[in-house]
Amino acid sequence: MTAAVTAMQQGLQSCEACGLLSRPARGEEEGRCPRCDEELNFRKPASLQRTWAYLVAAAICYVPANLLPVLTTTTAAGSDSDTILQGVVLLWSPTGWPLSLIVLVASIMIPSAKILAMGYLLITVQRGSAQSNEQRIRLYRVVRFIGRWSMVDVFVDTFTAALVQLQPLMSVEPAAGLFFFAAVVVLTMLAVEAFDPRLIWDSAREVRYA
């Protein structure tokens, strides 16, 4: 088998949009893809800084997302607000527990696991770790794949509020926590998009992009 050679070591850039491999013109460091006109770089520009920025913002929003109520229920007897965790508890019943579990996993476990996993990837890349590259790239793919499912609670609350409008008996309205929760989902998705998985493999050869 031949030695592992990366495109960057050969001075080649591959297009993230169309996959074409090309060489920067003489005297240029970066150019555009000759096939699809996408801007080309050896690595995503400022990938680590941008990923950190999204991730820190997501972690900050994570606190109010879990502490503030996402829904306010108003009945003749008064009004009552529920956070995401309270929503999970309310849904727990002899028949409803599977759905309760889905919301628990999608709304509480996935967002926190995503923030921790991306933080781990960023720190290991910055420390120049060359270990368990295969596991780290797999972790990145899992995070990328499951991230969208956190949106489930946003849809639950949206359609519950849109439907339960039985004034003056009972009505449900979205509350402030929903904004922060949606922000966590979007920011973590943006963090995953900003991260360049090729950096995981670069670390092995002391090529650092910080």
Partner 1 sequence: MHTHVHNEPLSDKSLIACLHCDLLQRLPKLPPGASARCIRCDKELWRRRDDSLDRTLALSLAAAVLYVIANSVPMLGLSAVGRQAFTTVFGGAQHLWTNGRQMVSGLVLLTAVVAPGLQIGFMLAIVLAARRSQPARWVGILLRYHPTTCTWSMIEVMLLGVLVALVKIADYATVIPGVALFVLGVLVFLLAGIQASFDPREVWDRVEWAETRGRLSGTVDEIAEATP
* Interface of this chain with partner 1, residues 58 to 87, rule: CB under 8 A: none
Q: Which is nearer to partner 1, 30 or 80 (CB)?
A: 30
Out of 79, 116, 148, 208, which residue is the one contacting partner 1 (CB under 8 A)? Answer: 148
CA distance 196 to 181: 25
Contact 61, 180 (CB under 8 A): yes
**Cβ contacts of 17-22, under 8 Å, gap ≥ 24:** none
Look at strands 165-166 and 71-75 and give their pairing. unpaired
- Compute how many residues bind partner 1; rule: CB under 8 A: 79
Out of 65, 198, 203, 209, which residue is the one contacting partner 1 (CB under 8 A)? Answer: 198
Q: Which stretch binds partner 1 (CB under 8 A): 50-58, 59-67, 113-121, 180-188?
A: 180-188
Out of 79, 159, 208, 210, which residue is the one contacting partner 1 (CB under 8 A)? Answer: 159
Among positions 10-49, residues that touch partner 1 (CB under 8 A) are 10, 12-14, 16-25, 28, 30-40
Q: Least Å distance between CB 171 and partner 1?
A: 10
CA distance 201 to 17: 21
Contact 55, 191 (CB under 8 A): yes
